[in-house]
Structure 1
Amino acid sequence: MPQYPEPYWRVGLDIPSFPKLDRDIEADVAIVGAGISGITTAYLLAQEGLKVVLLEASTILNGTTGHTTAKITAQHDLIYDELIHHFGEEKARLYYQANSDALQFIKDMVNEHQIECDFTEEDAYIYANTGEGVKQIQVEYEAYKKLGIVSEYVQSMPLPLEMQAAIVMKQQAQFHPLKFLLQLVQAFVGKSGIIYENTTAVNIEKGERPSVITRDGYRVTCKHIVSCSHFPFYEMPNLYFTRMYAERSYVLGVKTEKAFPGGMYLSADSPKRSLRYTNVNGENLVLIGGESHKTGQGICTIKHYEALEAFGEESFGITEIPYRWSAQDLITLDKVPYIGRLSADESNIFVATGYRKWGMTNGTAAALLLRDLIVGRDNPYQELYSPSRFHADPNIKAFITINVDVAKHLIGDKIGIVRRSPGDLYSDEGAIVNVNGKRACGYRDESGHLHIVDSACTHMGCELAWNSGDRTWDCPCHGSRFSVDGDVIEGPAEKPLKRIELE
């Protein structure tokens, strides 16, 4: 299997490093998670004159934000007819407006501060090439008209792809997310903001001045705590693992024979295909995304990259594939993010999660809302995004579906005889193996060294599955991911897997 560099966004970028927290400290606000929502919230609150501490379990800009396709748009797939059905026209319109506000905020920041981040305005298309897809497009277009969303229904588009109909939103945008956020990081530090990397938050001690407790036992005591980590590091009382599920999707960065005409594209039909470009040293790199599936489930993950490559070859002709990566996204019961106060009883603890693949606008909207809640300003989107909301339709059905699936994997995956032993593994192969009569995760690296760890996820004990595309162990229940040596890559798991030494 060929080795690939980091996602394009991080390659060649001079990202600063920050120390690990090694003592107890105090602040006005502690923010956990240094992705787009965490960094933007930290920047906004520092601009308000608050003392803000930003904690990151790994290194900044290395999680979902560093694995995005970086579309800045309010066109979030076929969502607005569904939102009208479940929430009503008023809240569906608020969702559109919140994401349009986020786009405008990013645009204003780029212009006012002259941020060089490859920002370009682009038209965004959802297109269909089947009869069923066209029907969905037509229904969605009617929803656009009800909500007053400026758009067009078209039967052609610049891309050389087969299509019958599309909806286009004009003047959406794309950018280099890390170049943009690095400017916010610098401005935040310039306002005496403090960042700690490799500092894992594991708990909250409640009170009038609550504290974030780290894995090493240190605490950050403050007036307000904000969880902007990809999966909330503090789940009580909302039990987010029962109210969200994780999906993985895949991206190829390719050079093509056919010129890319500009614009951003998403297919209404399955399998989903996402397309945009970015400029690299004067030539376009086309980003081909898609192949979503629930984390830890489905076919061999390398097959998803192969499917995207086949699509790209057929559509554009691929001359080179310099970059390849995958991303993980959390999806809530009703597909709207959870942003706001943790609960009515916890007025000084906040959460932001569940961006459903649209983190550039949803994450920015989260930062704007969190800023207003913390400084005491009115915000029209507070009720829409409230983490405590519950709507019988669709929440009950989605809740049952998610948790029945979890139960199936929690119990069913532990049944069955494992016949392979660690010695059976080929170079660069991972599989569930039998070690002393017990299941274990085994991987043999290209130098021949074996990496053996426990096969039960440390979150709730689900059996892990091998991800051959990313060389990780993934949990099919709640989306936790671990390295071949058992280190936590994605939550909700907080503890690493136990390493097993072979006799």
Structure 2
Amino acid sequence: MSILNNGEGKLPDQLSSYWLKSTKPPSFPSIENDLQVDVVIVGGGITGITTAYLLVKEGFQVAVIEASTIFNGTTGHTTAKVTAQHGLIYDEFIQHFGEEKARLYYEANKEAAEHIAELIHLHGIDCDFKKEDAYVYTNSNDSIQKLKNEYEAYKRLGIEGEYVDSLPLDIGNIKGAVVMKNQAQFHPLHYLTQLVDFIKESGGEIYEQSVATHMDISEKPIVHLRNGAKITAQHVISASHFPFHDNRGYFARLHPKRSYVVAAKPEKSFPGGMYINAETPTRSIRSVNVEGEEVLLFSGDGHKTGQGEPEKEHYEALEKFAKDEFGAKEILYRWSAQDLVTDDKVPYIGCSNEDDKRVLVATGFRKWGMTTSMVAAQLMKDILIGKANRYKDLFAPSRFTADPGLKTMVKENVNVATNLISGKLNRPDKEIKDVKEGEGAVVSIKGGRAGAFKKMDGQLFIVDTTCTHMGCEINWNSADQTWDCPCHGSRFSVEGEVIEGPAERPLKRIDPDSIDYTTS
């Protein structure tokens, strides 16, 4: 099935998240006047909402602000696995950090999954919560030893699991798998909607279409919004995916990755369980109930943001996998997501500056945000109430791990420098007249570089392709119809508006009527 444009410069309905399409969360006003609260949380995804829920229970006066609408970011585009099995990670963590820290990482996420289950039971939340075993499998002899090493790590860390030679699932020629028992899956937005109701009932405030631009840090931090309003608080929590206030160089310590999801009806029966392969490209599988029918989510095919051209081929690869392995004939939904990875693969959660409780941050979840969001919420709540938390040092944003952190930082910064230089040297061979309806492309205008998108009705949008963050040259994302930066992952709409940070300012717009096409 082809990916089509609907003539409005947006993606068609089929290119949307099932979670968002099947949920009707409440809407909230934007902030128009100055506000003073105990805690302001920037970001209305699962981390921000969960943290607000825990803090209002502690008696804090809390305001959550969201730049667009709640749940509309990474949270609304997840695969929603509630698991401590974050790929093949535990053997690696033991090698890099030692057994104690690896065990802490597992126990933090195990406890987070249990807290989620407790909240669902406490509030009677109908969110399709279901216990499932989680598998990392391989079809390649090259990965068997990695799986066996991971199982040995499970045994050393006390993880309930086993190594198996086959799967309940008939998928290719399975060579082996490591299974983590009693994990779970759910509908994340049905779960969060109930937490939002509790926050409102407890006096918490939520605001949408309220863009935080910067912050003054004095005795009481002041968050400034794009419309001129200000929020004064005792504490500011950045739960906005990329930290909106980057005073610690997070842009150089976080690496943006995109991944893709297709929802399809399988022809053959599904035995249950959650699956992800050990190789690349990633193939992740779980089931979801869509209007009484079993549908499978196939996800993966990830790449660094702005470096996956042409992006629509990643959807096509997942669709082919669904068809070849499960006989899928109908694709119901397609969507993509972006998340950030730290240098050492452990999220940054806690005080942005040592033990200064005025500004806290939660970021770098490496596409495993369901349990990690609860880890973050619990840890930041404990910091604010002065309660000891044994995971504080593990996730501290101020930490530095030489191995593998230094190697990763050097590698990623070389990648950034390469893309910065190549983008400046690259001269597009397309001109504006070559751009078809429903298409976007980098074009040449009088020897310069620009980005052009033409709607189906012929309306033309032209932007300067220089990213407003640090000057890298953006690329066209053909799948999501956005302009993506290959250096630090900023993303912009066809009109040039910021979709993802670290960029704060929109791209410069170029008036099509101002261009002399005879010399362009």
TM class by shorter chain equals over 0.9
Q: CA offset at residue 215 of structure 1? A: 1.7
Q: CA offset at residue 438 of structure 1? A: 1.8
Matches within 5 A, 1:198-217: 198-217=209-228
Aligned to 1:113: 123
> In 2, Cα distance between the equivalents of 1:86 and 1:35?
31
Q: Report the residue type matching 1:188 in the other structure.
A: I
Q: Report the residue type matching 1:178 in the other structure.
A: L
Moved >6 Å (runs of 4+): none
| CA-to-aligned-CA distance 1:279-334 (integer Å, 9 cap, x gap) | 11111110000101000003311111111111111110012101000010100000
- 1:191 and 2:197 correspond: no
Match for residue 250 of structure 1 among 237, 246, 260: 260
Match for residue 277 of structure 2 among 264, 267, 283: 267
> In 1, Cα distance between the equivalents of 2:207 and 2:124?
27
Q: CA offset at residue 451 of structure 1? A: 1.1
Aligned to 1:418: 428
> In 1, Cα distance between the equivalents of 2:320 and 2:511?
41
Aligned to 1:158: 168
Aligned to 2:362: 352
Tell me, yes or no, if the aligned pair for 1:123 and 1:170 is still in contact at 8 Å: yes
Structure 2, unmatched stretches of 5+, are 5-11, 515-520
Tell me, yes or no, if the aligned pair for 1:209 and 1:223 is still in contact at 8 Å: yes
Q: Report the residue type matching 1:158 in the other structure.
A: P
Tell me, yes or no, if the aligned pair for 1:422 and 1:450 is still in contact at 8 Å: no
SS in 1 for 2:352: strand
- 1:232 and 2:243 correspond: yes
Q: Report the residue type matching 2:56 in the other structure.
A: A
Q: Report the residue type matching 1:207 in the other structure.
A: S
Q: CA offset at residue 428 of structure 1? A: 1.4
Q: Report the residue type matching 1:14 in the other structure.
A: K
Tell me, yes or no, if the aligned pair for 1:151 and 1:168 is still in contact at 8 Å: yes
> In 2, Cα distance between the equivalents of 1:327 and 1:378?
34
Q: CA offset at residue 449 of structure 1? A: 1.5
- The normalised TM-score by structure 1 is 0.98
CA RMSD of aligned residues (A): 1.0
Q: CA offset at residue 5 of structure 1? A: 4.6
Q: Report the residue type matching 1:302 in the other structure.
A: K
Per mean C-alpha deviation after superposition, the further-off stretch among 464-473 and 156-165 is 156-165
Matches within 5 A, 1:322-401: 322-344=332-354, 346-401=356-411
| CA-to-aligned-CA distance 1:87-135 (integer Å, 9 cap, x gap) | 1111100000000011001100111111000100000000011111111
Per mean C-alpha deviation after superposition, the further-off stretch among 297-306 and 90-99 is 297-306
Aligned to 1:96: 106
> In 1, Cα distance between the equivalents of 2:388 and 2:314?
44
Aligned to 1:289: 299
Tell me, yes or no, if the aligned pair for 2:357 and 2:384 is still in contact at 8 Å: no
> In 2, Cα distance between the equivalents of 1:60 and 1:416?
38
Matches within 5 A, 1:7-156: 7-156=17-166
Q: Report the residue type matching 2:407 in the other structure.
A: K
Per mean C-alpha deviation after superposition, the further-off stretch among 8-17 and 47-56 is 8-17
> In 1, Cα distance between the equivalents of 2:269 and 2:312?
27
* Matched residue count: 502
SS in 1 for 2:218: coil
> In 2, Cα distance between the equivalents of 1:418 and 1:315?
39
Q: CA offset at residue 345 of structure 1? A: 6.3
| CA-to-aligned-CA distance 1:124-147 (integer Å, 9 cap, x gap) | 000011111111101111111111
- 1:460 and 2:470 correspond: yes
Q: Report the residue type matching 2:326 in the other structure.
A: F
> In 1, Cα distance between the equivalents of 2:505 and 2:358?
27
Structure 1, unmatched stretches of 5+, are none
> In 2, Cα distance between the equivalents of 1:299 and 1:444?
19
> In 2, Cα distance between the equivalents of 1:5 and 1:300?
16
> In 2, Cα distance between the equivalents of 1:275 and 1:132?
21
SS in 2 for 1:278: strand
> In 2, Cα distance between the equivalents of 1:165 and 1:481?
39
Tell me, yes or no, if the aligned pair for 1:31 and 1:52 is still in contact at 8 Å: yes
Match for residue 180 of structure 2 among 169, 173, 196: 169
Q: CA offset at residue 419 of structure 1? A: 2.9
